[in-house]
Amino acid sequence: MSSSNTTIWVAGASGLVGRALLDVLARQPVQVHAVLRRPQDLPPYPRLTQHKVDFGRADLGAQLPAPRAVYIALGTTIAQAGSQEAFRAVDLDAVLTVARAARARGASRCAVVSALGADAKSAVFYNRVKGEMEQALAQLGFARLVIARPSLLVGDRAALGQPERAGERWAQRLSGPLLPLIPKRWRPITAARVAGAMALALAQDGPGISVLESARMQDLEEQGNP
């Protein structure tokens, strides 16, 4: 991915994958702009700037520098959001608002965190919303769109000041002796591995849309070839 523009947006930088993305991007010669709902205690990386935005505003990117690429790691749960409508506002509406704003400011590449089983026709609400989000992003005209579909995430939410999620608590328990017995498609995956796979895939030339299933991300960093 060659360009004189080194500006990268990261939406959702306070979460597990978002924070891992900051760690990955800190090792690259880029200017990272964290797009957040509220100020956060982020790592003091020298090329990292925070921006407080309203994810309900279509012009949220008006005061941000034009990006080369955008990473979107926004997400919640229905339990945390409080309702299906509130969940949809984050996992669909806010994601699309950021993507559209980045595209309008010139971003040609986008990487987004979706979920294993995402399908716009799914009978499962969570999977259906994720699938609808993927379909909507595909219509925005990014030259390259990377969609990451991780299984259960492994990471320390407590260290980020976030409540632990029940599914991820089980993932932590499975990340021991039983891990090799679990098929890679369902195997819990670390946020760091997801972030590394996303960054690697987005930096490469390839098809307009590239879907990284969880099993593929388990090996992607080691292979060094998305």
Question: Where in the chain are the domains?
Answer: 7-219
Give me the pLDDT at residue 162, please.
57
Residue 219 pLDDT class (50, 70, 90 cuts): confident
In this model, does residue 122 exceed pLDDT 70? yes
- Mean pLDDT lowest among 25-39, 44-58, 152-166: 152-166
Q: Once rounded to an integer, what is the mean pLDDT over residues 199-222?
A: 87
- Which residues, in sequence order, are bridge partners of residue 104? none
Give me the pLDDT at residue 80, please.
87
Residue 163 pLDDT class (50, 70, 90 cuts): low
Long-range CB pairs of 27-34, under 8 A, 24+ apart, other chains included? 28/199, 30/6, 30/68, 31/6, 31/7, 31/65, 32/8, 33/7, 33/8, 33/9, 33/64, 33/65, 33/67, 34/10
Whether 126 sits among the annotated catalytic residues: the reply is: yes
Q: Once rounded to an integer, what is the mean pLDDT over residues 94-122?
A: 97
Whole-number average pLDDT of the chain: 88
Give me the pLDDT at residue 225, please.
47
Give me the pLDDT at residue 108, please.
97
Q: Once rounded to an integer, what is the mean pLDDT over residues 176-205?
A: 83
Q: Once rounded to an integer, what is the mean pLDDT over residues 7-29?
A: 96
Give me the pLDDT at residue 143, please.
97
Give me the pLDDT at residue 226, please.
44
What torsion do the CA atoms of 193, 47, 73, 20 make, to the nearest 10 degrees?
A: 30
- Mean pLDDT lowest among 106-110, 128-132, 170-174, 194-198: 170-174
- Mean pLDDT lowest among 75-84, 136-145, 191-200: 75-84
Query: Which residue in 45, 52, 121, 130 is the catalytic one?
Result: 130
Query: Which is it for strands 109-113 and 153-154: parallel, antiparallel or unpaired?
Result: unpaired
Query: Which residue in 45, 71, 121, 126 is the catalytic one?
Result: 126
Selected residue with higher pLDDT from 112 and 161: 112
Q: Is the separation of the CB atoms in 131 and 224 below 8 Å?
A: no
CATH number of the domain located at residue range(s) 7-219 in this protein: 3.40.50.720
Rounded Cα distance, 98 and 96, in Å: 5
Whether 121 sits among the annotated catalytic residues: the reply is: no
Give me the helix-helix angle, 95-104 and 125-138, nearest 10°: 10
When computed from its CA atoms, the radius of gyration of the chain, rounded to whole angstroms, is 16
| pTM passes above 0.75 | yes
Distance in angstroms between the alpha carbons of the first and the last residue of the chain: 14
- Which residues, in sequence order, are bridge partners of residue 209? 145
